[in-house]
Structure 1
Amino acid sequence: MSNKKIGLVSLTALVLSSMIGSGIFSLPQNMAAVAGSEALLIGWAITGVGIIFLGLSFFYISRLKPELDGGIYTYAREGFGDLTGFLSAWGYWLCATIGIVGYLVVAFEGIGTFTDSENQVIFGQGNTVASFIGSSVIVWLVHLLIAKGVKEAASVNLVATVVKVFPLILFIALALWYFSPETFRQDMQGSALNNSVSDQVKNTMLITLWVFTGVEGAAVLSAHAKKRSDVGLATVLGIVIALVLYVAITVLSLGILPREVIAAMPNPSMAGLLNEMIGSSGKIIITFCLIVSVLASYISWTMYSSEIPYRGAQNGAFPQILNKLNSNDIPINSLWFTGFIVQFCLVLVLLTGKSYEALLLISTSMILVPYLLIGAYLLKLAFLQNAAWHIKLTGFMATLYGIWILYAAGLDYLLISVSLYVPGIALFLHSRYRHQGGKFNLNKWEKGLLLVFALLFIWAIQVLLNFDWG
């Protein structure tokens, strides 16, 4: 039996690993394409403040309500009722489960850079038959790893996180050595982009919006922590480390090559920048790091994905079949459920390609409401318990940031994501009916919320029919 708990270092590594996936390796090009150095610095300042308040929300909730396990789902349910809690859990689970498929796609696309040639394509863009077989093998190997115990999986993730962070530190060290203040100061306002600094800032926000997804990892796995106090601390530590890495990599890159040159680079753009500094070995280092990074992120996100339905099943929000632990205290049926969904999405990747990319972006927008509810719950909790002023301020700022990122995501994607909530609501009603002995027992607030979703669903269908799927 594996009943070991996760310590602070492993918890922090889980948070960091889930945030640092494939995006960081393309971040220099992504940011340079939309902003000059002035807007980039402002954008990071806004994001940094907002995400720190969000992280502090997890920190304070874990201390005000140390008995609550499950993070995203449990906090929303405790603060706003069963239906809201389920919607938060469903949105988060769907985002996580569909999103982790992207890690497998990127991993085998990276492997393809070492094996493929113009005359022979084996792994391609991660959507070939060979990629499908390889990804499927990884899905079930990770399934076996996690089934043996969270401690064991977290230990593997810790090693992988160290491996993937080291080259990032190497990149930053080299960038400091090669940094040119003159290059950095060229066109700081990004005049060649033909838009204002404020517009550039908004465009950077649309990118930085996603890079901190995974901040909630320690809270989701709080039941497996050695000490409950480690949950909030691991969250804050993970955020600070990730923020330093993100800012350093993007800002220093603009001192290596001009913005317009970086903006035209193929991704992962860090490979091109490292190639500029140390030669062709740079591409090999970054590609290897990318593969390790996304596979480590896959492990951590699979752990989160299996935990959420299990927590929901305990309260009748998900089917009771998911409320089962194996001898290693792992929610085994929920883990199987997640594995089968990932396998189904891999089939979609093989068959649909670009349609899957659109689905991925839509599903990712579903995580924004759960983030908003975290700040809102701390704000409510702080006033109910008459907590210190700085805790109330944290809840307010995190809520404000949650509203901002909803706005930045765009109305179309948020509306279309409503269509993904509808099957979840049907699942909730079925599970609740069984759990409540043949009754729904919905209060007026929940009935009103269902009506709002019904109206939004009609609007979402209209948007869906006119949506450009690329």
Structure 2
Amino acid sequence: MTQTETGSRPTTAKLSLPTLTTMVVGSMVGAGVFSLPSRFAQETGVAGALIAWAVAGTGMLMLAFVFQTLAVRRPDLDAGVYAYAKAGFGEYLGFFAAFGYWASACVGNVTYWVLIMSTIGAIAPALGDGDTVLAVVLSSAGLWLFFLLISRGVKEAAAINRIVTVAKLVPILVFVVLALCYLDPDVFADNFAGADYAGSLFSQVKGTMLATVFVFLGVEGASVYSRHARRREDVGRATVLGFLSVFAIFASVTIVSYGIMPMSEIAELRQPSMAGVLEHAVGTWGQVFVSVGLIVSVLGAYLAWTLMAAEVLFVAARDDDMPRFLKRSTTEDVPVPALAMTTLLSQIILVVTMFSDDAFDFALNLTSALTLIPFLLAAVFAVRIARAAPRRELAVALLATVYTAFLIYAAGLKYLLVSLIVYAPATALFVKARKEQGRRLFSPPELLVLAVSVAGAVLGVVALALGRISL
């Protein structure tokens, strides 16, 4: 396969509404849904979970509407989150949004391999919780095998994702139905208010927010892949359809689990906790059933996220906000250098997980935190362009902005600082791109953003060194 620059007009795969929708669903239904029972039980009971899903569902629906509106009002902007940040706040913050979104996708990909290895680790102790040397070696092999698969072409990868998306929904729906059949009303009632270790209702709800962000990541998937859409209006439709398709599933998986086991026991389950819940209800075959479904689900989500991550780097390079080498693509429209860089960062994070206290939770929370700044910039951009639009659009954009700001608060200072440790060094790519174009490196406002990001990164490194925060 020959490498080409954007100007050589590679063949662009055109995707239909159903394919775009399955890419959104495929992006959201991945590792997160299989971890929901334990993640929620560690923080809250039924009452808090209901409130948390109401808040998360409303907030994410507002974001989905924002992406739908922006796709229609600004059809000239490709790659979604990154393009909106750049149009609204300039090239440097646009670069930050592109890098942050890309980095979050790479870290998110790591959660998939950790969870696969943890799942198999239930019968192969050498894999542990997905963070042993053997687990990392096997996961690394998987990373690069998928690199070779996706290199064959975007169209082929998208077709595989469409099939996998349908297949992976089956075990999740079966879990919900079986959990309803085995639900114990007394256990459910005991779990309603929460356990002794849970704090105030507000703190319980706040504690679940990063988990809800993680499972909803991918709601913007169609907008990221917008240049491949057969019709531009399909981007917004796929976004809303994809969100509505999975929201009820995520909430149901969480709530029905409270009727199977005491929440203190659910909180102690190894990941994937959905398998442990079903095993308690129906026996060993339930664990096996969910485990097989998880592996199919996670591999499908990994495929979708790798495609989206490479797409963001490619479009940013095409717009001269990333170094030139990242704008190269094959005649089959595969941005191989961007794909290779995506796989490489995932490889690095995969190695880092061996030194974290909880590999899965660390990667999950960092994925969510890295995404929040790009989401906030996109929401604020929607507010700016909605001022001359109907009031409904302005109200939706404002709600999405408030929700995203609340998520940053809920994530806490720890993950904000760790995010800046990732963000700040990325400026080297921005500098390289500017030098290639013979332009001034930073404007005064950009220098201010740089200073804030570097100061936050330094503070984060110091906090890690002193043990004030940990991975």
Q: CA deviation at 1:156?
A: 0.9
The answer to whether the Cα contact below 8 Å between 2:383 and 2:394 also exists between their aligned partners in 1 is yes
Q: Higher mean Cα deviation, 16-25 or 252-261?
A: 252-261
Alpha-carbon distance between aligned partners in 2 of 1:282 and 1:319, rounded to the nearest angstrom: 49
How many corresponding residue pairs? 460
Give the direction of change, closer, same or farther, for the CA distance of 1:416–1:187 in structure 2 (3 Å limit).
closer
Give the direction of change, closer, same or farther, for the CA distance of 1:343–1:262 in structure 2 (3 Å limit).
closer
Give the direction of change, closer, same or farther, for the CA distance of 1:103–1:82 in structure 2 (3 Å limit).
same
Among residues 174, 182, 202, which one is paired with 1:170 in the alignment?
Answer: 174
CA deviation profile, 1:94-148 (whole Å, cap 9, x unmatched): 121133122122223323434x26xxx3x34334555444333322332232222
Q: CA deviation at 1:445?
A: 2.4
Unaligned runs of 5+ in 1: none
Tell me the SS of whatever aligns to 1:365: helix
Q: Does 1:217 align with 2:221?
A: yes
Q: Higher mean Cα deviation, 452-461 or 319-328?
A: 452-461
CA deviation profile, 1:201-221 (whole Å, cap 9, x unmatched): 222334323221222211111
Indicate the residue corresponding to 1:321 in structure 2.
Answer: 325
Indicate the residue corresponding to 1:446 in structure 2.
Answer: 446
Give the direction of change, closer, same or farther, for the CA distance of 1:151–1:456 in structure 2 (3 Å limit).
same
Among residues 72, 76, 83, which one is paired with 1:74 in the alignment?
Answer: 83
Indicate the residue corresponding to 1:95 in structure 2.
Answer: 104
Give the direction of change, closer, same or farther, for the CA distance of 1:187–1:251 in structure 2 (3 Å limit).
closer
Give the direction of change, closer, same or farther, for the CA distance of 1:359–1:51 in structure 2 (3 Å limit).
closer
Tell me the SS of whatever aligns to 1:300: helix
Tell me the SS of whatever aligns to 2:330: coil
Among residues 21, 33, 39, which one is paired with 1:24 in the alignment?
Answer: 33
Alpha-carbon distance between aligned partners in 2 of 1:427 and 1:208, rounded to the nearest angstrom: 31
Alpha-carbon distance between aligned partners in 1 of 2:61 and 2:128, rounded to the nearest angstrom: 38
Tell me the SS of whatever aligns to 2:15: coil
CA deviation profile, 1:173-203 (whole Å, cap 9, x unmatched): 1222233444322352225346332332222
Q: Does 1:227 align with 2:228?
A: no
Indicate the residue corresponding to 2:276 in structure 1.
Answer: 272
Tell me the SS of whatever aligns to 1:110: helix
Identity, in percent, stands at 37
Q: CA deviation at 1:390?
A: 0.8
Letter in 1 for 2:410: A
Indicate the residue corresponding to 1:333 in structure 2.
Answer: 337
The answer to whether the Cα contact below 8 Å between 1:2 and 1:148 also exists between their aligned partners in 2 is no
Counting only pairs closer than 5 Å after superposition, residues 315-464 of structure 1 correspond to structure 2 as: 315-349=319-353, 352=355, 354=357, 358=362, 361-362=365-366, 364-383=368-387, 386-435=388-437, 437-440=438-441, 442-464=442-464
The answer to whether the Cα contact below 8 Å between 1:150 and 1:224 also exists between their aligned partners in 2 is no
The answer to whether the Cα contact below 8 Å between 1:108 and 1:131 also exists between their aligned partners in 2 is yes
Tell me the SS of whatever aligns to 1:26: helix
Q: Higher mean Cα deviation, 334-343 or 320-329?
A: 334-343
CA deviation profile, 1:231-271 (whole Å, cap 9, x unmatched): 11111122112210111111122223333343343332222
Alpha-carbon distance between aligned partners in 2 of 1:374 and 1:43, rounded to the nearest angstrom: 23
Alpha-carbon distance between aligned partners in 2 of 1:451 and 1:305, rounded to the nearest angstrom: 27
Indicate the residue corresponding to 1:309 in structure 2.
Answer: 313
Alpha-carbon distance between aligned partners in 2 of 1:301 and 1:194, rounded to the nearest angstrom: 34
The answer to whether the Cα contact below 8 Å between 2:62 and 2:397 also exists between their aligned partners in 1 is yes
Indicate the residue corresponding to 2:5 in structure 1.
Answer: none
Q: Higher mean Cα deviation, 193-202 or 371-380?
A: 193-202
Indicate the residue corresponding to 2:470 in structure 1.
Answer: 469
CA deviation profile, 1:259-318 (whole Å, cap 9, x unmatched): 334334333222222223332110100111111121111111111111111111122221
Please give the root-mean-square deviation of Cα atoms over the aligned residues, in Å.
Answer: 2.3
Q: Does 1:5 align with 2:1?
A: no
Alpha-carbon distance between aligned partners in 2 of 1:141 and 1:2, rounded to the nearest angstrom: 24
Give the alignment's TM-score, normalised by structure 2: 0.91
Q: CA deviation at 1:458?
A: 4.0
Tell me the SS of whatever aligns to 1:195: coil
The answer to whether the Cα contact below 8 Å between 1:363 and 1:417 also exists between their aligned partners in 2 is no
Indicate the residue corresponding to 1:41 in structure 2.
Answer: 50
The answer to whether the Cα contact below 8 Å between 2:143 and 2:347 also exists between their aligned partners in 1 is yes
Alpha-carbon distance between aligned partners in 2 of 1:353 and 1:415, rounded to the nearest angstrom: 16
Indicate the residue corresponding to 2:4 in structure 1.
Answer: none
Give the direction of change, closer, same or farther, for the CA distance of 1:112–1:227 in structure 2 (3 Å limit).
same
Give the direction of change, closer, same or farther, for the CA distance of 1:198–1:109 in structure 2 (3 Å limit).
closer
Among residues 240, 252, 259, which one is paired with 1:255 in the alignment?
Answer: 259
Alpha-carbon distance between aligned partners in 1 of 2:340 and 2:210, rounded to the nearest angstrom: 34
Letter in 2 for 1:389: R
Indicate the residue corresponding to 1:159 in structure 2.
Answer: 163
The answer to whether the Cα contact below 8 Å between 1:355 and 1:469 also exists between their aligned partners in 2 is no
Give the direction of change, closer, same or farther, for the CA distance of 1:80–1:147 in structure 2 (3 Å limit).
same
The answer to whether the Cα contact below 8 Å between 1:111 and 1:291 also exists between their aligned partners in 2 is no
Letter in 2 for 1:469: S
Alpha-carbon distance between aligned partners in 1 of 2:409 and 2:270, rounded to the nearest angstrom: 29
Q: CA deviation at 1:449?
A: 2.0
Letter in 2 for 1:283: Q
Alpha-carbon distance between aligned partners in 2 of 1:281 and 1:152, rounded to the nearest angstrom: 34
Indicate the residue corresponding to 1:86 in structure 2.
Answer: 95
Alpha-carbon distance between aligned partners in 2 of 1:340 and 1:33, rounded to the nearest angstrom: 33
Letter in 2 for 1:447: L
Alpha-carbon distance between aligned partners in 2 of 1:332 and 1:393, rounded to the nearest angstrom: 40
Letter in 1 for 2:333: D
Q: Higher mean Cα deviation, 278-287 or 337-346?
A: 337-346
Unaligned runs of 5+ in 2: 1-9
